[in-house]
Structure 1
């Protein structure tokens, strides 16, 4: 993989670069702050961006949103030593594909990189028609799905994972109001609905969605499986939830169980 490192600690940048190079990855950039990072990303286009949270100028959460808005194909592995209890959830909701809490060991960083790579590979597999070991086509009428998430990377990956499991994604939208309209128009079998979105969040949109299309199975997509949130969503009509960062095995198990396959 082509990896870019952004961390204000020079020793950390050097350590990560050495580890990645020794494992056969190509380190295509190493930077100490987030200022002007979009220009660097635009010229380099890495596969993975290892991004620290606390940086001079701008914090990592702000940078993730900027990167994912323009380059959803780039996976961001978020790194932090922060003790904030909700930081992993916030990073996932911002679009992080992986999360590493400092200090970390070599095994941990490579396991997270592998999980990120496997997820992207599974999501991209559907586009590779005729590829070796491609799954057999789903027989009969394929059921439809709509995705509602304000993060382009999550929409892209989730679309690939759903289609890999036999669903046809007929529309992807970025907020709850658009989700309500998309469900009215398509009456899909499945709706993947992000909890935190601008204009209208998933929980706010959920009652309107259930009314507009009672047969649609609504799956909440969230970085936090808080019991109160899960209970609230279930009470409003959701059938379950998928956690961010997305992982193929979890999504496949959930979708196959939901569709009775």
Structure 2
């Protein structure tokens, strides 16, 4: 279990020396260790093999090979490596493509140390919880599921953690989405007992997806996922039909209790 609690090893890939220097200064701490920096993606895969990072902070605009191309290459060779995209763009299509390719999180420029730490802590926490579940080897195995679920989150590691937790509970995850539109389509097709939907997703956010789902199918219980404990957000979601909330970062035991209570209601 010791490897779960070591300093998080970070590889920075950005063609701007100022950005790399700033990130390195912000990250080197008792919690994080910058193990390498690259100004392009030409030697990224060999660097990952050599440096063994836990997280790659990857700029989406790079010379020769852009960040999206590199994200696809990383996922093909290192499917479980955490990848956080660095970008100064708010383009929803960019975020959707990155989510489709398997990004775990985003750091938006201009960034602060708090913003960076929030994103890295969120994804590394999820990865650690996923590793713990895997090591416990207690995933649901008897094959008789008592409920069906759809999950929607633009972070790959969050979806994997949710799938592991729900499966352990005996809930069959019959669909996973990385944007709100996908979520509405999956719920309409499968009519699950429960749907866990993130507030912040590209193309269509979770609140809009919730409204569409409830207008088409009132039987599915909708649980909203968020890192922002906003009273106004909760009020809007509850008014639109949400029956519960999952606050990031979440822990398996707490999440199981909440989901069990919601399904039993």
**Superposition TM-score, scaled by structure 2 size:** 0.65
Residue from 123, 128, 149 that aligns with 1:116: 123
Equivalent residue pairs, number: 225
Q: Distance in 2 between matches of 1:204 and 1:24?
A: 40
Mark the runs of 5 or more structure 2 residues left unpaired by the alignment.
1-7, 228-246
TM-superposition CA deviations, 1:122-153 (whole Å, max 9, x none): 222212339xxx9xx9xxx9746577889965
Residue from 173, 176, 179 that aligns with 1:193: 176
Counterpart for residue 250 of structure 2 = 249
**Superposition TM-score, scaled by structure 1 size:** 0.66
* RCO higher in structure (CA 8 A, sep ≥6): 1
Q: Distance in 2 between matches of 1:58 and 1:243?
A: 33
Residue from 188, 208, 217 that aligns with 2:193: 217
Q: Distance in 1 between matches of 2:136 and 2:103?
A: 28
Counterpart for residue 129 of structure 1 = 136
Check whether the contact 2:159–2:176 (CA below 8 A) recurs between aligned residues: no
What pairs with 1:34-113 in structure 2 (closer than 5 Å)? 34-85=41-92, 87-113=94-120
- Alpha-carbon RMSD across the aligned residues, in angstroms, is 4.0
Mark the runs of 5 or more structure 1 residues left unpaired by the alignment.
170-187, 211-215
Counterpart for residue 233 of structure 1 = 213
> Using a 3 Å threshold, how does the CA distance of structure 1 residues 260 and 61 change in structure 2: closer, same or farther?
farther
Counterpart for residue 180 of structure 1 = none
> Using a 3 Å threshold, how does the CA distance of structure 1 residues 205 and 86 change in structure 2: closer, same or farther?
closer
